[in-house]
A and B are shown apart, each in its own frame.
Chain A
Amino acid sequence: MAEGDSGEAAGSQVDGPVLRMVGVVQEYRDGGRVIRALDGIDLTVAAGEMVAVTGRSGSGKSTLLNLAGGLEEPTAGRIWVDGEAVDAMTRTGRAELRRRRVGFVFQSLNLVPSLTASENVALPLEFDRVGPKPARTAARQALERIGASELADRFPDQLSGGERQRVAIARAVVGRRRLVLADEPTGALDEMTGRQVLRLLADLADGGAAVVLVTHDVELAAAADRVIRLRDGAVDQITERPSAPASVAELLR
């Protein structure tokens, strides 16, 4: 949690955390029944941090990600992205926030097949009425940032699964978006390719992005600085990576 400052003050600071959730509750109606998917979540993710959210299916992981990205509106609680209060936004406001500040990476490799990698990466900017030239430049920069410049002119069907996911990650950070939300981003990939994608997300965090990774796989989650385990919609356990790096000899006895 942010250090001791009041919600409003911290929420409105641009230098503050990239993502901040306070007391977030999400309920769904299932006929006459109310299902509480999230039950009072507090979460702060700073720039430069990668946080993994784990838990069984139904623990609320994906709901948390949808709320952080403004895809859903919370039943209660407050959410800020880059200092902007998402919970107070209209549907249109949230859509704009998503375009401008949030990058999504999903398990399904949803690239547009008729566009090149570079055009796919530029797509969010074009929706945002950025001119074609600056959009193209930004797309090249995003691909370069993740070391995928060589893929720029290829079409999705000319890319391997791992390459497609790299393009999807470039698209998530195009135009300097600082919040990257990844939902089982390695689910469709083999183990080694999955690890590379994970490392790429960790590099994005090292480069100043705030990355939230949702995964059921504890081994992948361990790549994060902080692992948050959800259970029945609430935070069950938080594990921070020990700050002192252990030597191989210390780890292997």
Chain B
Amino acid sequence: MHTEYVIRGALLALLNDRAKYGYQLKSEFEASTGSAWALNIGQVYSTLKRMERDGVVLGLGQDEEGRPRYQLTAEGREELAGWLSAAVERSVSSRDEVTMKVLMAAATGAGDPTLCIAVQREVSMQTLQTATVARDTATSLADRLHLERLIVSCTAELRWLDIAEEALAGGRTPAPGEVGDTTTTTLRTEDLHG
């Protein structure tokens, strides 16, 4: 439920200056994060209800137009400060699909791992090309920073593909006197884990 956790943090931040109602939070959320993330209004209210239950926001009842408004509590302020100041731990999933495809192709011989790499490289490069143009014409800070992150992750993927390709190329050269390449491929697969 990572997404929910991020939405909760964002709602706390948006309520920091004054009490607001759901649609206001939805549109401010979208304005400050860019066009990339559209929030569902139902999700906004269900999150607010949960936050009210946890005591981090307080329901103020409906305003003259019948819109339920919420304000931050002292506890909410504390949670917000904690959320903003805590570092996010990163980890690389050992279940990454691209990694698994390359490893499975290499380990089983069911497919050509270099083909998996070439196909992925083309798509990542095209995304990078498109994202570069979009970044250079981005009109909001939010869009630009989202795109910069996409660019960095495409670049990282392309770099990984090069590394994997080289590791596999090393693995496919049979040792002197060796006929098949099954053994070396298996060895390389282990190298990739290491």
Contacts and interface: CB of A to CB of B under 8 A. Distances in A.
- The answer to whether A binds B is yes
Contact of B133 (A219, A221, A237, A245): A245
A34 interface: no
Contacts of B155: 218-219
Interface in A33-80: 56
Interface stretch (B46-54, B58-66, B120-128, B178-186): B120-128
A112 interface: no
A219 B128 contact: yes
Contact of A246 (B121, B130, B158): B130
Contact of B134 (A229, A239, A246): A246
B79 interface: no
Contacts of B143: 248
Given A246-B134, A252-B150, A239 B126 contact: yes
A59 to B, nearest CB: 11
B151 interface: yes
B129 A222 contact: yes
Given A242-B130, A251-B130, A252-B37, 14 more contacts: A199-B136, A218-B159, A219-B151, A222-B151, A239-B129, A241-B126, A241-B133, A245-B130, A245-B134, A247-B35, A248-B134, A248-B147, A251-B147, A252-B36
Q: Which 3 A-B pairs have the closest CB atoms?
A: A252-B36, A222-B128, A241-B129
B125 A222 contact: yes
A221 B159 CA distance: 13
A56 B162 CA distance: 9
Interface in B134-176: 134, 136, 138, 143, 146-147, 150-151, 154-155, 158-159, 162
- Number of chain B interface residues as a range: 20 to 34
A248 B142 CA distance: 11
Interface majority SS (helix, strand, loop, mixed), chain B: helix
A218 B37 CA distance: 28
Interface string B106-133: 0000000000001001100111111111
Nearest to B149: A252
Contacts of A224: 129
Contacts of B162: 56
A9 interface: no
Interface of A: 56, 199, 218-219, 221-224, 227, 229, 237, 239-242, 245-249, 251-252
A247 B35 CA distance: 9
B158 A218 contact: yes
A219 B135 CA distance: 12
B147 A222 contact: no
B10 to A, nearest CB: 16
B146 A248 contact: yes
Which of B128, B129, B132 is most buried by chain A, counting CB atoms within 10 A of its CB? B129
Contact of B132 (A223, A239, A242, A252): A223
B130 A239 contact: no
Interface of B: 34-38, 118, 121-122, 125-134, 136, 138, 143, 146-147, 150-151, 154-155, 158-159, 162
B134 A242 contact: no
B115 to A, nearest CB: 11
B32 to A, nearest CB: 14
A109 to B, nearest CB: 24
A242 B35 contact: no
A222 B134 contact: no
Contacts of B147: 248, 251-252
Contact of A251 (B37, B121, B122, B127): B127
Nearest to A246: B130
Contacts of B125: 218, 221-222, 227, 239
Contacts of B127: 251
B122 A218 contact: no
Contacts of B133: 241, 245
A248 B148 CA distance: 11
